[in-house]
Amino acid sequence: TDYGSSLTVSLPAALQPHQPFQIIVRYITADGPAIWWLDPELTYGNAKPFVFTQGHSVCNRSFFPCFDTPAVKCTYSATVKAPAGIQVLMSATQSTYLEEEGVYQFYMEYPVPAYLVALVAGDLIHADIGPRSRVWAEPCLLPTAISKLSGMVERWLTAAESLYGPYIWGRYDIVFLPPSFPIVAMENPCLTFIISSILESDEFLIIDVIHEVAHSWFGNAVTNATWEEMWLSEGLATYAQRRITTETYGAAFTCLETAFRLDALHRQMKLLGEDNPVSKLQVKLEPGVNPSNLMNLFTYEKGYCFVYYLSQLCGDPRHFDSFLRAYIEKYKFTSVVAQDLLDSFLNFFPELKEQCVESKAGLEFERWLNATGPPLAEPDLSQGSSLTRPVETLFKLWTTEPLDSVAAASSVDLTKWRTFQTVLFLDRLLDGSPLPHEVIKKLSECYSSQLDSMNAEIRIRWLQIVVRNDYYPDLYKVRRFLENQMSRMYTIPLYEDLCTGTLKSFALEIFYQTQNQLHPNLRKTIQQILSQGLNPLPAIDTTAVTTDTPAMVLEDKVSEATNGAISLRDVNVSA
């Protein structure tokens, strides 16, 4: 199956309890869910082949034989041989290189779950950006990575240490991967993996790296013992991320980012329905279901809201910080369940235990964990009103009939806004689409040229608005965007929107012209989107397809994959 088959090893009957023993498994692995091989054309430099692994959640069983569960942790060592000119990195605390043999040796001295073992190899060079951090990237990307992160990572690590205790992994390095990387970022210990595409979006880069920094405590040091409780890693890491951003960038910025994410949570809730079981924090994982399918905004944002609620019970977030430091110290290098966290919380605050806060009507801990629907309580975001109020005002100007306030709306210069303000505004317009034709026309006249010069996180939202409103004058920008994107997070949402409406033939034409620049896994996903409700798409010799080739006419049928567009855009998945 997709998830492999079990290997059972029978131990000798004479083996005594606790007696050490060694098992050697000789195996070969080829293409598998964890291992992504890239031809040079799929890298930025187009010079050398590239390979990376992505183990979360249960993919590393295709990389090496392992107990592929977060409940089991162990140290590991690895020996990797690579051609000259190929740099190899792993999520390990120690590494050496024997140049004459072309052999790298790695050792992770702390116990980690199987999904955190990671490898990357390619045309990578590095630069130090702090006393315990460096960035790795392809040569053409390294200057940008340095300019964005120099000095910043140490600032974030120091803030995190002041909140949650010492950083225990030694180094915190970052490697930027080609756009084929299937998610935004992955918290592999000592070596965070991040997609290079995010480099152009400064605020998203800040949030994504700080989220992975937070995982060094929540997820890596203390791990959820079961995939049914991923919120123990993601909810706590999101809470810690926001405590770090509050310390380093202020409460207003943190509230703005939180408002943007909670907006997305409610959007997903509206889509899935309030009684959907995946909205529980303790999700039931049915046999044969890939745990990665449970990665959604509830894991992050509903989990965050519960953790935030616990912090509010303490009265002062600094008291909760003290609890989390004790929690990390008690459970580091182990895996836990929700009851471990909640029992530790009540034992740390006996006065709350005496007040029976776990049974408070309507906010019972058990209800937080097992009720479907939205969070039982959400944080007060009033400290972000200086940043969110202009968004709300502008949105009302554009959506209140009759449209007689265009002059006031058009005077707003979006280039002066923060990225999260602009994406919050565009997401709300996206929610209201299709808009009246007069509105979308005026929006384009006011903002389209401004948005053209902004980062991809902003541009993709405007282009989704263009597609969902069938606004043909700006459709050429959709083509231009897709012709220059190889990333899953910037292609899938647009293709799904194109195939949901009346523009399937346009989508097919673009795909046939660009598919050779896409990773085979992404190509397959887009083919599935294009094929919704149709016979399987034939294999096409794209060398024969020109811009004049008539595109296949597809029947209009709402794509069953639309959910994916919303989840990809809104989750902006960082594992």
Q: Is residue 461 part of a domain?
A: yes
Mean pLDDT of the chain: 90
**How large is the average pLDDT for residues 411-418?**
93
Per-residue pLDDT, 2: 61
- Cβ contacts of residue 402 below 8 Å, gap of 6+? none
Stronger pLDDT, 125 or 533, i.e. the higher one: 125
**How large is the average pLDDT for residues 87-109?**
97
Of the candidates 153, 184, 183, the one whose C-alpha atom is nearest the C-alpha of residue 169 is 153
Same domain, residue pair 249 and 300: yes
Exactly one of 138, 187, 203, 212 is catalytic; name it: 212
Answer yes or no: are the C-beta atoms of 482 and 522 closer than 8 Å: no
Distances (CA, A) of 513 to 41, 509, 518: 15, 6, 11
Q: Is residue 542 part of a domain?
A: no
Tokens of 511: 């795909």
- % of the chain with per-residue pLDDT over 70: 92
107-121, 134-148, 328-342, 521-535: least confidently modelled range: 521-535
Same domain, residue pair 285 and 425: no
Distances (CA, A) of 149 to 142, 238, 242, 450: 11, 20, 19, 26
Of the candidates 249, 248, 267, the one whose C-alpha atom is nearest the C-alpha of residue 259 is 267
* Predicted confidence (pLDDT) per residue in 17-66, tens digit: 889 999 999 998 877 889 999 999 999 999 999 999 999 999 999 999 99
Tokens of 449: 């040229």
Same domain, residue pair 158 and 58: yes
Answer yes or no: are the C-beta atoms of 181 and 54 closer than 8 Å: yes
Cα 483 to the center of its chain, rounded Å: 23
**How large is the average pLDDT for residues 262-268?**
96
The residue among 357, 380, 403 that closes a domain is: 380
Same domain, residue pair 355 and 417: no
Same domain, residue pair 128 and 176: yes
- % of the chain with per-residue pLDDT over 90: 83
* Predicted confidence (pLDDT) per residue in 544-566, tens digit: 333 332 233 222 222 333 333 33
Backbone angles phi, psi at 395, to 5 degrees: -60, -40
Per-residue pLDDT, 290: 85
* Predicted confidence (pLDDT) per residue in 377-403, tens digit: 999 999 999 999 999 999 999 998 777
The residue among 152, 186, 216 that closes a domain is: 216
Same domain, residue pair 202 and 61: yes
> Is residue 234 annotated as involved in ligand binding?
yes
Answer yes or no: are the C-beta atoms of 259 and 382 closer than 8 Å: no
Per-residue pLDDT, 401: 78
**How large is the average pLDDT for residues 83-109?**
97
Answer yes or no: are the C-beta atoms of 184 and 163 closer than 8 Å: no
The CATH number of the domain where 436 resides is what?
A: 1.25.40.320
* Alpha carbon distance 354, 343 (integer Å): 13
Same domain, residue pair 135 and 244: no
Burial class (CB in 10 A: 0-12, 13-18, 19+), 332: middle
For residue 192, what are the β-bridge partners? 174
Answer yes or no: are the C-beta atoms of 491 and 485 closer than 8 Å: yes
DSSP3 helix / strand / coil % (the chain, rounded to 5): 50, 15, 35
Per-residue pLDDT, 421: 98
Per-residue pLDDT, 1: 52
Of the candidates 102, 148, 112, the one whose C-alpha atom is nearest the C-alpha of residue 222 is 112
**How large is the average pLDDT for residues 106-120?**
98
* Alpha carbon distance 523, 515 (integer Å): 6
Which residues span the domain enclosing 325?
A: 225-380
Q: Is residue 536 part of a domain?
A: no
The one-character DSSP state at 133 is: E
Three-state DSSP class for 164? helix
Per-residue pLDDT, 12: 85
* Predicted confidence (pLDDT) per residue in 273-313, tens digit: 999 999 999 999 888 888 888 889 999 999 999 999 999 99
Per-residue pLDDT, 293: 82
Of the candidates 498, 3, 1, the one whose C-alpha atom is nearest the C-alpha of residue 290 is 3
Residue type, 66: C
> Is residue 319 annotated as involved in ligand binding?
no
Q: Is residue 367 part of a domain?
A: yes
**Residue 536 clears pLDDT 50, i.e. is over it:** no
Q: Is residue 66 part of a domain?
A: yes
Per-residue pLDDT, 403: 73
The CATH number of the domain where 293 resides is what?
A: 1.10.390.10
Q: Is residue 405 part of a domain?
A: yes
Tokens of 276: 């959907």
Per-residue pLDDT, 534: 52
Of the candidates 455, 387, 395, the one whose C-alpha atom is nearest the C-alpha of residue 202 is 455
Tokens of 165: 């205790």
* Predicted confidence (pLDDT) per residue in 189-205, tens digit: 999 999 999 999 999 99
Is 301 tagged catalytic? no
Answer yes or no: are the C-beta atoms of 113 and 185 closer than 8 Å: no
Same domain, residue pair 426 and 329: no
Of the candidates 495, 424, 437, 497, the one whose C-alpha atom is nearest the C-alpha of residue 471 is 437
**How large is the average pLDDT for residues 264-268?**
95
The one-character DSSP state at 539 is: P
Distances (CA, A) of 286 to 41, 115, 363: 39, 20, 27
Cα 197 to the center of its chain, rounded Å: 13
Exactly one of 110, 115, 300, 308 is catalytic; name it: 300
Same domain, residue pair 371 and 346: yes
**How large is the average pLDDT for residues 346-350?**
98
C-alpha angle 32/36/42, rounded to 5°?
145
**Residue 256 clears pLDDT 80, i.e. is over it:** yes
Task: Please list the alpha-helical segments (H only) found in 19-151.
Answer: 142-149
**Residue 130 clears pLDDT 60, i.e. is over it:** yes
Same domain, residue pair 335 and 463: no
Q: Is residue 255 part of a domain?
A: yes
Of the candidates 36, 31, 30, the one whose C-alpha atom is nearest the C-alpha of residue 51 is 36
Per-residue pLDDT, 298: 96
Per-residue pLDDT, 400: 86
Is 300 tagged catalytic? yes
Q: pTM of the full predicted structure?
A: 0.92
For residue 79, what are the β-bridge partners? 105
Per-residue pLDDT, 60: 94
The CATH number of the domain where 50 resides is what?
A: 3.30.2010.30
Laid out side by side, the sheet with 133-137 consists of: 125-130, 133-137, 173-177, 191-195, 185-186
> Is residue 215 annotated as involved in ligand binding?
yes
Same domain, residue pair 53 and 157: yes
* Predicted confidence (pLDDT) per residue in 445-501, tens digit: 999 999 999 999 999 999 999 999 999 999 999 999 999 999 999 999 999 999 998
Q: Is residue 27 part of a domain?
A: no
Q: Categorise residue 64: left if φ over 0, alpha if ψ from -120 to 50, beta otherwise.
A: beta
Residue type, 89: L
Same domain, residue pair 466 and 355: no
Tokens of 324: 């989390």
The residue among 329, 347, 380 that closes a domain is: 380
Burial class (CB in 10 A: 0-12, 13-18, 19+), 503: buried
What's the number of domains the chain is made of? 3
* Alpha carbon distance 190, 91 (integer Å): 6
Per-residue pLDDT, 32: 83
